[in-house]
Structure 1
């Protein structure tokens, strides 16, 4: 399928990355299980949170280490699917899987060092950061440069992951004492994110020609592929000739499909979040929502109240 049979098991499944993800998942279950008693206010983690974390880690692995990652180096449409899974699916699922008492313990230790950069988590700043970096990445000259330089590629993806977490924090933050926005504010924040990503997707969808040499120029494609499969660029060119070997779509159509896929996934996820936020906001406004109970430590409360 899609030429995946031409690649080895290691190239398709990235065993080292898989091992890291499994270790992190195992650490999560040790933390919420045997070690949970060491945390103030700890309680049993609901099953839905556990499954949320598992599915989030699975989405991240498939997007950054599994076949979807490899296909993302071959075809632009799969690249955009990989980006959507990484930052619009995996990040919120992983964050939802972490219970409030874990977040409090983490922030208790990090609040003071991060005080000077706490403004990055403010709604407008977080939305501009993530969507701005995401859009900047898809400017053709920047995208091709990042794809051709492995260290820059990993660093940029790590920064996107962090800024995505800051953006999602404003929507799924489980700590009432640290929420910047609620109700209508969250609804407006969702619309802001939906709007900010539109120009980049529009540029990709309505471009009159292929924008990215990584997916249209065989030599550039072979150089980028060298970071995820064995063989020199010359060997890859001799074996496959270029990305056209694996696709049934032209580079331009493949690019358009990628832009449409990203926008569709984003719209679906944020529309679902919009319905969820509106439902709970409506219930709260009508006095039907259960009161939120928070039990932060007095030290954390003091730090929150005095933070800048």
Structure 2
């Protein structure tokens, strides 16, 4: 059980956050169901979209308020799994689960507010640098430990990371089909850019010769961070009961750190490589289709020639 048996249901599943997630999900089903009739641009929402939205919300809660979140405070490998689920897996599922007519309403509303001045942030290069830059900075040891030991900063930083992840995924998901986003080779280039930008942070973690983060190697720092994760957690009591993070880890601290870096990079590579293959196939098929149409046009006899 990786130590989960030592904690209560409330510790493992965060009922307050779970209730908030369920409330959002219920609101989603109302919006795409009975309330959709109030919007003249509404379209029937396919079951596939509903499944993607629910799956995305499940993964997000699992990473931020479920067992993966708790285990992410005891082992660095689970911390990186939490990051991957939160910013690489959940956002595109949630975004794809929201039908285009809702996205149109959101975008049209934002364009009538001062928020329209921030639309440059969804530019593929800007969003890629923003998300991957913030992710890399967060995993600098001094920054990571500071964020983990300051609850308010921790929540704010994670929220900003999620927002920038949505900006990054906007180019790839294209939630509003009629709004132009890069296609073909350009989209392939942006996917590759994101794959490259995350490499330095993962490389730092994978090839470090010693443990980098006090919250996974120093019992006192770990107890303070764990106290924020467990409702009403007392660092002194946690230290007395468990002694430190090594109580839970079945891997040596540096090995656990390396596994975490590899896991994050592996998940990113699998998802983005799948996207590369899909986009390349779509681009190749479109190019062939256009070539075939050009050949058909070239083969049509000219009217002038038929009259001769």
Instruction: With the length of structure 2 as denominator, give the TM-score of the two structures.
Output: 0.92
Task: Say whether the 8 Å CA contact 1:170–1:179 is kept in structure 2.
Answer: no
Residue in structure 2 matched with residue 61 of structure 1 by the alignment: 61
- Separation in 2, partners of 1:32, 1:162: 23
Deviation at 1:115, TM superposition (A): 1.9
- How far 1:184 sits from its partner (Å)? 1.1
- Correspondences of 1:144-159 after superposition (within 5 Å): 144-159=145-160
Partner of 1:123: 124
Please give the alpha-carbon distance, in whole angstroms, between the structure 1 residues aligned to 2:227 and 2:137: 24
User: Which residue of structure 2 aligns with residue 184 of structure 1?
Assistant: 185
Name the structure 2 match of 1:256: 258
Q: How many residues are paired up?
A: 288
Q: Relative to structure 2, which stretch is displaced further, 225-234 or 90-99?
A: 225-234
- Paired residues for 1:173-252 under 5 Å: 173-229=174-230, 230-252=232-254
Contact 2:226/2:233 (CA < 8 Å) preserved in 1? no
Task: State the match for 2:14 in structure 1.
Answer: 14
Gaps of at least 5 residues in structure 1 are 289-308
Q: Secondary structure of 2:34's match?
A: coil
Match of 2:90 in 1: 90
161-170 or 275-284, which deviates more? 275-284
Deviations 1:209-250 (A, max 9, x none): 000000000000000000011332111111000000001111
Offset from partner CA, 1:143-163 (integer Å, 9 cap, x none): 000000000000000000000
Change (3 A) 1:58 1:116: same
2:228 is paired with a residue whose SS is coil
| Native 8 Å contact 2:124 2:190 kept in 1 | yes
Unaligned runs of 5+ in 2: 291-308
Structure-2 separation of matches of 1:9 and 1:174? 36
Moved over 4 A (4+): none
Query: Who is 2:280 aligned against?
Result: 278
Q: In the TM superposition, what is the alpha-carbon distance from 1:179 to its structure 2 partner?
A: 2.5
- Computing the radius of gyration from Cα coordinates, the structure with the larger value is 2
Which of residues 240, 265, 268 is equivalent to 1:266?
268
